[in-house]
Structure 1
């Protein structure tokens, strides 16, 4: 009876190992590589899309601030600028 138990355990472990090795081997087939690349490309596209959306929101906020200052007749000054009027960078003026 003990031998049958261990035989069953061995068969189960063997089946799991073979299945995992087969799955890993399929990742290196042309189809598996294509699937992996398409998933990676989808992630990159989603990251770029998220970045563009963030930039649009921030640009709209900045445009609203500038328009409010213009409507009041004030000079819009960026809060991130240093005291000397530069944005912390040496630029051409």
Structure 2
């Protein structure tokens, strides 16, 4: 009875190992590589879209600040600039 139990355990472990190895081997086939590249490219495109959206939001916010200062007749001063007007970037001109 013990031998039958261990035979069953061995078959189960063997099946799991073969399945995992087959999945890993499929990653290195041309279709597996194409799928991986497609997913990577999709992630990069989504990242770029998110970046562009963030830049647009920041630009719209800055534009609103400038328009508000102009409407009030005030001189717009960039809060991020230091006394020299360098915008916090040492040595970059």
TM-score by length of 1: 0.93
Q: Aligned-pair distance for 1:84?
A: 2.5
Alignment partner, residue 52 of structure 2: 52
Query: What is the DSSP-based 3-state SS (H/G/I as helix, E as strand, rest coil) of the residue aligned with 2:23?
Result: helix
- Gap regions ≥5 residues in structure 2: none
- Tell me the distance in 2 between the aligned counterparts of 1:43 and 1:67: 36
- The corresponding residue for 2:63 is 63
Per-residue deviation, 1:52: 0.3
Q: TM-score, normalised by structure 2?
A: 0.93
Residue of structure 2 in register with 1:26 after alignment = 26
Unaligned 5+ residue runs, structure 1?
none
RMSD: 1.0
Number of residue equivalences: 91
Structure 1 residue 75: Cα displacement: 1.0
**Post-superposition shift, 1:28?**
0.1
Quote the residue 2:15 is aligned against: 15
1:6-51 per-residue CA deviation (whole Å, 9 max, x = no partner) reads: 0000000000000000000000000000000000000000000000
Q: CA deviation at 1:87?
A: 1.6
